[in-house]
Every structure is written in structure tokens, then in C-alpha cells.
């Protein structure tokens, strides 16, 4: 699998290699093939100033095939990327064809864009193949209503029967744009609450502290007059009510509909629950079967009849020590067994996307740090390469290496954290985590000395990075990569991998087989623990990952134990990458960390792009639309934590409630990225 995907077919990746020639027509065509460090730098200013960016996506053979199949109902509007399904009622047919005939079995991303001038909202889908390659883009349009509260009149067919991973994404689109999805099993608001006034990401919806459409705000120019936000709004606060709202007399029900589907019983759940456990992974060999206490089925203990219990609904969170932040899990319990589970998200919804659409392009880099705050630098890379793709610039050689070193260190650091807190969830409270936090702190020391901050590094720039590593810092990095961390990973494995308690509690728990994982668009270590060698660094390489010798660790248990093992193995692979990168760094020119001039204002050519990277949690994608100005017209974050959470229910139902905590821990979510 790995060999098959190492070299992407060049025709399908218009991004990096072809970028330079297109941006600067005069440059020789040979500039594309592994150029010397100076060459792309020379091409850069031209690319930057050129009015048109590189073609972001061409009509791939799949799209051509799709058009032949569906004829008139699938069209390609000229300046746009991808194809448009111009009859929404055909969407399901098209998507079924895309999944079954073309092999795009994962829905990488679904989002929407409000084209207010044209009067429609465009729903954008990015299906992709779990075998690798680039995603394709499909769109449908629905007329946007102008009613601030009512959802759109025309509904889009829900894709949940085709891609299970669409569920949360469609709910998010509904929540943010008011697009209705027909046939969705549970179409409620997800990030805000039921009863929220308006559709926040529509362009004509303004937040209470609204000051202007784009930053920098006029009122903030030197000499201009600036009022405090509190003084500008009538409520003197960050709130906004519909006219005539009476706060003493209204019906508040932020959880409307939440318990409905749970109480009525969800189809399929009963039978899984009735035999006391979910599907076992094939790897499950009954560890501890000889020890009666560890026989988790309790088969011979009593007659099932005698143990009849009532079902109760329990809220875990949003303030709960094991929910990894402000996540709320609503579980239906039969005794100790989880028979249903719902998630309530949005307790950390910080309006990342709305703020991102007001910010300038550069402004957004520090914000991406705050998405998945365990591994800030990895998020920055995702954003930066997407914008670079649109601008058609390429970072310098040294910057590429520094990026790789830093992001891979982040991966190690993030996995340390994930494993430490997985043990927390298993009941080994804090002591194991202390060991890993100690190692993590050493990596953070390097980040801090280079970037000035431990977590929020703000390190990447378009076309480069903000700082080079000094000799001392390189020494520190070498010491970590060649000596300290390898030793510590060995130690970690000695302590944990064969630990009997860990095995007894994790093997076979949270099983989700490969086909279901793919259908749920699960990405990251969780997918690789289910036997799918899907890692964007390999299947759709970005930056300079194609130069390094590393493996994609894959395990086949699809359970918590293998998710743990994948993470450990990945840390070793990341170390390999860091070591190679550190060794090759000498061949680059010190200080050459920024292509072109440093700039505060970037104009990004009109167009759109979907760029993605493999963060420690999975696929982090950025869907950006530019109208040629200083600010993104649309700024969407496809967050892996958010989409991975979709599958939590299926993993958990049938297990004990104590395992629910462990399964959540094995997903390794970060709420900043879930709720954005």
C-alpha cells in the first residue's frame, strides 16, 4: 500500500510542482522539477503579484466520468472548482455513484458558503478515497432565504445514508447557515443551541460586536476614532435580541429534541445491547479469560432475567473530569451498560470561522494555534500550505525542513499527551501522565526558545517560518531527537504495552471495523488502528514528506489498545523523520527561512482551495474561498476531532459506562478543534 501511494500521479497534484510555471508564464518549464533553493525564491515575487493564481483544480478523470454518467444534472461552472449538481434531488444518486463506482468512500469534508450577492448558499462536499489521492469537489446550491430565523425553503438531501460521517457536518451546516437537510436523522443545532436567533455564518448576520466586514476596521486606522465594543452596542454587552424580546416571559429550551430520540429507543441499539457487548474485534482472544473477574461478559454470573434493570439517562459533562474538556455526553444506561449515546457540542464554540472571515489572511495564523491547542504548529501548517496553494508560492528549502521538524515534534508531544490522558481515563490517575508531561515540557522548551511561546507558537508564515533555529536550539533538538525521546519511548513501552491491566481494559474495547471507520470518515491514528493505511503524509504528500524514509504504522485490532499502539509506533516514525530532517538541514542555507519579502498584507487571488495535513489527531483540512481581497471570503476548518466524534456512539454502545470514558480517551479529541 505504501509503495503504491508514495509517488502521487503528477497530473493530479497541480499544487506544488506546477505552481511556479503557471504563476510566472515566462519561467522555463523545468523550474517545476526539484529546483535549487534559489529558483523558486526568484519566481515568488512574480507569483505574488500576478493577478491570477495557479489553477487550483482541474477537471479530473473522475469528474469527467461523472459528467458522462449524469449528463445535464452535473455541470462545471467555469470559474469554480469541481462540479455542481444542479438538481439537488439528484445528489444522492450522484454521491452513491461517487462512492460505489468511483471509490470515493470517505466524505472528507462538507461545508457551505454563503454567496450573498448571487443569492444562494452553496453546499460543498469533498469526498475522498481511503486508498489515497486528492479529494474531488462537488457542490449543490440552494437559494438563501432572507428570513433571519427560518431555515432555507429548499432542502438538500442528507447524505447520512451514504456517508455516516456526514451527520455532524450537516448539522453544523444547518446550524451555521440554516440549510435544511432532508432525511437527516437528527437535524438540530449543534454548536449553538436550539432557539438561537439567526444563522451565524450567513454574510448578513452580524454579531453583536460587529464593527465592519473586514479587518483592519476603518475605525482602527491611526487617527481614526475607535470606540470600545461595549460602548457601541445598545446592550453594553455581547448580546443581541430580536425586536420586542421579553426576557421575563419566554420559553428557553436549549436542549429541545435532545432526549427525544434517546427515549424512543434507537433502532438496532437494543439487539447490540441485549447480548451485553458490542462486536468483538477479531483480535480479541479473551485476555484474562482465565481470570473470572476479568470476564467482562459476566456470562455465568446470573440469569439475565434476574438482572433486569431500568434504563436511565445520565449526563456526563460539560464539566466532568473525564470528558477532555467541555464535552457533554448524554448516555442511556441499562445498569452499567451504555445503550445509547448522544453528544452535545459547542460549549467551546468560539466562532473561529466567523472571526476568521473578518481577519486578514495573516491574522488567522495565530488563531489556528488555538484550534487544537495541544499541537498548534501542526494546525498552522495546514492553513499556511492551503493559502500558499492559492497564492502559488513555495517556501524555501530551509523553511520546509524547519516546518517538518517542528510539526513532527508536535506530533510526538501530542501523542505523549494523548497516551498520558488515556491512562488517566483508565484510572491510573495522573501519575503516568506526569511522566509524559515531563517529556512534553522538554519539547515545549524548544518551541518556546524558538517562537517565544510554549503552546501558541505562531511560527509559520506564508512562504516560510518566522524564525530560524540557532546552533543551541539545534543542539537541543538533536539531543531530544537522537537521545532523550527514543529512550523515553522505550521506557513508555516497557511500562505500558504489555501491562496486563491495560490489555484487559483496552483490547476489544471500542471496536469499529475498517469499513465502518471509513464510512464515518474517521481519520488519524484511529483509522490506522483499524487497518487502513491512510495517512495524508503518504497518500497525498504535502510539504517535503516525500523525501523522508518513514513508515505508516498500521494495526488491525480497531480497538483502544491498537489506537494506543499506533500512537507509540507513530512517535517512533516521527522521530525518524525529525532525525533525517535534522541531518539534511545542513544542506540548506541558514537564515533562508522566508520566500520573498515579509509582508503584512497578502492578497490572495480569487478562487478556492481545500488543503489538508495530517495532524496528530487526523486530517485537518482548510477550505478557503478568496474573492481576491485581503480577507478570506470563506474560512472553514475541517477538524478531525469533530468528525471522529461522529463514530463515538457506535464504538461505545454495548460497553460499560467506564469504558465509554476510555473510548473517548482513545479518540483523543481536543475541544478547541471540535467546537472551533
Partner 1 sequence: MAELTNANAPEGFQNDPRVPDELKNNVFITSLDKIYNWGRKRSVWPMLFGLACCAIEMIATAASRHDLSRFGWELMRASPRQADLMIVSGTVTKKMIPQIVRLYNQMPEPRYVIAMGACATAGGPFKEGYNVVSGVDKFIPVDVYITGCPPRPEALLHSFIKLQEKIEKQSLRNVPWYQKGEEDVVPIPVLGPDLVDLRRAQEIREKAAQAAPTQEQPAA
- List all residues 6 or more positions away from 415 whose beta carbon is below 8 Å from its beta carbon: 525, 567, 568, 570, 571, 616
Q: How far is CA 661 from CA 12, 485, 504, in A?
A: 42, 28, 15
Q: Applying CB under 8 A, which part among 99-107, 366-374, 505-513, 653-661 lies near partner 1?
A: 366-374
Partners of 420 in the β-ladder: none
Binding marks (x or -) toward partner 1, 218..257, rule CB under 8 A?
A: xx---------xx--xxx-xxxxxxxxxxxx-x-x-x---
Cα-Cα-Cα-Cα torsion 536, 538, 541, 542, nearest 10 degrees, comes to: 60
Q: Supply the minimum distance, in Å, between the C-beta of residue 34 and partner 1.
A: 39
Using the contact rule CB under 8 A, the part of the chain among 177-185, 201-209, 297-305, 552-560 near partner 1 is 201-209
Q: Which of 196, 284, 482, 556 binds partner 1 (CB under 8 A)?
A: 196
Which is it for the CA torsion 267, 271, 273, 277, positive or negative?
negative
Closer residue to partner 1 (CB): 323 or 666? 323
CB of 359 or CB of 573, closer to partner 1: 359
Q: Judge residue 13's burial from the number of C-beta atoms within 10 Å of its C-beta, 0-12 exposed, 13-18 middle, 19 or more buried.
A: middle
On whether the CB atoms of residues 261 and 186 are closer than 8 A, the answer is: yes
Q: Which stretch binds partner 1 (CB under 8 A): 124-132, 428-436, 504-512, 615-623?
A: 428-436
Q: What are the grid coordinates assigned to 203, written together?
A: 454574510
Q: Spell out, one character per residue from 621 to 640, where the chain touches partner 1: x when CB under 8 A holds, - when not.
A: --------------------
Which region, judged by CB under 8 A, interacts with partner 1, from 57-65, 287-295, 363-371, 582-590?
363-371
Q: Does 658 bind partner 1 (CB under 8 A)?
A: no
* Window contacting partner 1 (CB under 8 A); options: 333-341, 343-351, 577-585, 592-600: 343-351
Residue of 53, 200, 524, 621 that binds partner 1 (CB under 8 A) = 200
- In order of 428, 508, 557, 605, the CA distances from 502 in angstroms are 10, 12, 15, 52
Dig out the grid coordinates for 162 from the structure. Answer: 451514504
495 near partner 1, rule: CB under 8 A: no
CA-closest candidate to residue 597, choices 403, 380, 369, 393: 393
- In sequence order, the 6+-apart residues with CB closer than 8 A to the CB of 120 are 141, 142, 143, 144
CA 137 to each of CA 62, 95, 111, 126: distance values in angstroms, whole numbers, following the listed order = 11, 11, 11, 5
Nearer to partner 1, 79 or 247 (CB): 247
Choose the stretch contacting partner 1; rule: CB under 8 A; options: 130-138, 185-193, 257-265, 523-531.
185-193
* Number of chain positions touching partner 1 (CB under 8 A): 73
Under rule CB under 8 A, which residues in 135-154 are in contact with partner 1?
148
Does 321 participate in binding partner 1 (rule CB under 8 A)? yes
Interaction residues for partner 1, span 10-49 (CB under 8 A): none
Site for partner 1 in 290-319 (CB under 8 A): 318-319
Closest to partner 1 by CB, 175 vs 659, is 175
Note whether 447 binds partner 1 by CB under 8 A. no
Q: How far is the CB of 223 from partner 1 (least distance, A)?
A: 15
Residues 374-413, interacting with partner 1 (CB under 8 A): 374
State the nearest-atom distance from the C-beta of 236 to partner 1, in Å: 9
Beta bridge partners of 229: none
Among 358, 403, 488, 538, which residue sits at the site for partner 1 (rule: CB under 8 A)?
Answer: 358
**Which segments of 222-268 does DSSP mark as H helices, in order?**
229-232, 260-263
192 lies in the binding site for partner 1 (CB under 8 A): yes
CB atoms within 10 A of CB 150: 11
Q: Which of these ranges, 102-110, 139-147, 189-197, 288-296, lies near partner 1 under the rule CB under 8 A?
A: 189-197
Could you tell me how many residues make up the chain?
676
What cell numbers appear for 598 in the block? 515579509
Amino acid at each position: 500500500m505504501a509503495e503504491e501511494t508514495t509517488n502521487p500521479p503528477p497530473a493530479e497534484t497541480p499544487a506544488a510542482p506546477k505552481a511556479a510555471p503557471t504563476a510566472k508564464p515566462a519561467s522555463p518549464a523545468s523550474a517545476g522539477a526539484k529546483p535549487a533553493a534559489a529558483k523558486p525564491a526568484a519566481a515568488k515575487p512574480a507569483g505574488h503579484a500576478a493577478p491570477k493564481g495557479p489553477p487550483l483544480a482541474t477537471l479530473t478523470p473522475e469528474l469527467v466520468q461523472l459528467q458522462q454518467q449524469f449528463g445535464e444534472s452535473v455541470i462545471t461552472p467555469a470559474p469554480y472548482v469541481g462540479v455542481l449538481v444542479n438538481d439537488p434531488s439528484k445528489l444522492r444518486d450522484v454521491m452513491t455513484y461517487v462512492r460505489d463506482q468511483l471509490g470515493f468512500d470517505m466524505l472528507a469534508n462538507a461545508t457551505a458558503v454563503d454567496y450573498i450577492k448571487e443569492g444562494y448558499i452553496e453546499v460543498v462536499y469533498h469526498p475522498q478515497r481511503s486508498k489515497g489521492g486528492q479529494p474531488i469537489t462537488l457542490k449543490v446550491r440552494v437559494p438563501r432565504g432572507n428570513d433571519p430565523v427560518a431555515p432555507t425553503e429548499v432542502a438538500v438531501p442528507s447524505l447520512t445514508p451514504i456517508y455516516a460521517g456526514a451527520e455532524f457536518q450537516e448539522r453544523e451546516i444547518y446550524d451555521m447557515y440554516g440549510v435544511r437537510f432532508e432525511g437527516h436523522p437528527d437535524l438540530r443545532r449543534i454548536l449553538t443551541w436550539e432557539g438561537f436567533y439567526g444563522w451565524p455564518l450567513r454574510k448578513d448576520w452580524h454579531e453583536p460586536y460587529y464593527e465592519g466586514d473586514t479587518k483592519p476596521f476603518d475605525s482602527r486606522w491611526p487617527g481614526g476614532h475607535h470606540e470600545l465594543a461595549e460602548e457601541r452596542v445598545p446592550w453594553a454587552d455581547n448580546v443581541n435580541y430580536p425586536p420586542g424580546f421579553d426576557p421575563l416571559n419566554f420559553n428557553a429550551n436549549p436542549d429541545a429534541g435532545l432526549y427525544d430520540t434517546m427515549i424512543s429507543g434507537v433502532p438496532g441499539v437494543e439487539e447490540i445491547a441485549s447480548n451485553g457487548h458490542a462486536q468483538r474485534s477479531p483480535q480479541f482472544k479473551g485476555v484474562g479469560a482465565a481470570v473470572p473477574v476479568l470476564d467482562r461478559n459476566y456470562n455465568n454470573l446470573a440469569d439475565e432475567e434476574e438482572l433486569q434493570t431500568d434504563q436511565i439517562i445520565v449526563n456526563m459533562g460539560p464539566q466532568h473530569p473525564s470528558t477532555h474538556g467541555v464535552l457533554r455526553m448524554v448516555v442511556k444506561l441499562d445498569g452499567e451498560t451504555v445503550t445509547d449515546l448522544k453528544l452535545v457540542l459547542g460549549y467551546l464554540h468560539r466562532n473561529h470561522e466567523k472571526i476568521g472571515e473578518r481577519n486578514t489572511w495573516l491574522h488567522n495564523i495565530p488563531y489556528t494555534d488555538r484550534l487544537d491547542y495541544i499541537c498548534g504548529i501542526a494546525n498552522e501548517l495546514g492553513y499556511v500550505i492551503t493559502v500558499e496553494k492559492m497564492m502559488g508560492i513555495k517556501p524555501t528549502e530551509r523553511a520546509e525542513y524547519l516546518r517538518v521538524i517542528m510539526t513532527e515534534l508536535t506530533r510526538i508531544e501530542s501523542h505523549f499527551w494523548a497516551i498520558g490522558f488515556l491512562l488517566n481515563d483508565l484510572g491510573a490517575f495522573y501519575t503516568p501522565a506526569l511522566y509524559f508531561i515531563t517529556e512534553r515540557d522538554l519539547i515545549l522548551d524548544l518551541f518556546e526558545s524558538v517562537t517565544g511561546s510554549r503552546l501558541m507558537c505562531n511560527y509559520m508564515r506564508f512562504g516560510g517560518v518566522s524564525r530560524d533555529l540557532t546552533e543551541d536550539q539545534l543542539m537541543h533538538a538533536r539531543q531530544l531527537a537522537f537521545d532523550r525521546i527514543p529512550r523515553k519511548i522505550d521506557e513508555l513501552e516497557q511500562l505500558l504495552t504489555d501491562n496486563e491491566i491495560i490489555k484487559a481494559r483496552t483490547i476489544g474495547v471500542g471496536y469499529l471495523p475498517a469499513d465502518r471507520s471509513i464510512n464515518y470518515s474517521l481519520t488519524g491514528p484511529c483509522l490506522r488502528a483499524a487497518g487502513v493505511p491512510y495517512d495524508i503524509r503518504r497518500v497525498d504528500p504535502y510539504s517535503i514528506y516525500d523525501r523522508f524514509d518513514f513508515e505508516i504504522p498500521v494495526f488491525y485490532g480497531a480497538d483502544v489498545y491498537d489506537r494506543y499502539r499506533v500512537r507509540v509506533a507513530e512517535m517512533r516514525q516521527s522521530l525518524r523523520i525529525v532525525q533525517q530532517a535534522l541531518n539534511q538541514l545542513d544542506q540548506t542555507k541558514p537564515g533562508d527561512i522566508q520566500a520573498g519579502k515579509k509582508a503584512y498584507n497578502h492578497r490572495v487571488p480569487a478562487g478556492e482551495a481545500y488543503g489538508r495535513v495530517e495532524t496528530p489527531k487526523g486530517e485537518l483540512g482548510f477550505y478557503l474561498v478568496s474573492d481576491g481581497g485581503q480577507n478570506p471570503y470563506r474560512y472553514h476548518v475541517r477538524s478531525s476531532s469533530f468528525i471522529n466524534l461522529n463514530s463515538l456512539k457506535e464504538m461505545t454502545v454495548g460497553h460499560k459506562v467506564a469504558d465509554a470514558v476510555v473510548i473517548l480517551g482513545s479518540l483523543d479529541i481536543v475541544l478547541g478543534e471540535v467546537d472551533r
